[in-house]
Each structure stands twice: as C-alpha cells, then as structure tokens.
Structure 1
Amino acid sequence: MKAMMIRFLKEEDGVTAIEYGLIAGLVAVAIIAGVSSLGGNLNTMFTSIGSCVSSLGGASATVASACKLGS
C-alpha cells in the first residue's frame, strides 16, 4: 500500500493534463473577450458605412469622399 501511495504521488501525468486544460481555458476566454469587443466595433462600423451608402442614392460622388472614410 505504501509503495502504491508513493508511486501515485510521483505521477505527474494528471497534473500536466490539468495545466494544459487551464491554459486552454484561459486562451478560450481571451479569444471570446477579444471577439466580443471586436464584433461590436465591426457592427458599428458596417452600420455607419451602410447608412452612408444608402444616403448617397444615385449620386456620382465616391463613397470614400462622401462618407469621409479613412480619415
């Protein structure tokens, strides 16, 4: 029994798996946070561009000059 307990305490395979699991979880949280933040900004930008293009109608002005994009 004592030998089995010593062998169990020396095993590190489970600890390594737990560490990799924690790292994967932290990476997933970081990716989700980044995508949510970026998603809101992209939605705002495309909504703004869409409304600007709609307001041009059949005008001959370019979208970039009329909507002041890139400045």
Structure 2
Amino acid sequence: MIKPILKELIHDERGTSAIEMGLICSLIVLAMFTALQNFADASHNTWNTVTSKTHDAVTQSTGG
C-alpha cells in the first residue's frame, strides 16, 4: 500500500517548475532589495551633503 504511493511521489515532477520559478523570483527580489538599499544609501548621503552645505552657507551669511 505505501510502496506504490512512495514510488508515485518520487517520480512526480509536476512541482519542480514551480519550485524553480520560486527560486528565480526570490533571487530577483533579493537583487531588487540590494539595489534599492544602495540607492537609499546614496540618496541619504546626498541629502546629508545638501543639509550640511546649506547650514554652512546660512551660518556664513548670518555671521554666526
């Protein structure tokens, strides 16, 4: 009774495509998160530079 069921499960290949697609999608999502994190870091650094330069310019113009 159990042997035929196990043989059928071992030779069943219907889910392999779904697993492969899931792995590919997860790699794509991981790459997207990495790219987004890099973009966020660069954007944060840019705005910090703008803030610093604006603060310096205001300080110099007001004599403070």
TM-score relative to the length of structure 2: 0.69
Q: Which whole-Å CA distance do the structure 2 matches of 1:56 and 1:37 have between them?
A: 29
Deviation string for 1:3-32 (max 9, x for gaps)? 32221x331222222222111100000001
Unaligned runs of 5+ in 2: 1-5
**Is residue 2:51 matched to residue 1:46?**
yes
Unaligned runs of 5+ in 1: 59-71
Name the structure with the higher helix share: 2
Match of 1:26 among 28, 31, 52: 31
Segments of 4+ moved more than 3 angstroms: none
Equivalent residue number for residue 10 of structure 1: 14
TM-score relative to the length of structure 1: 0.64
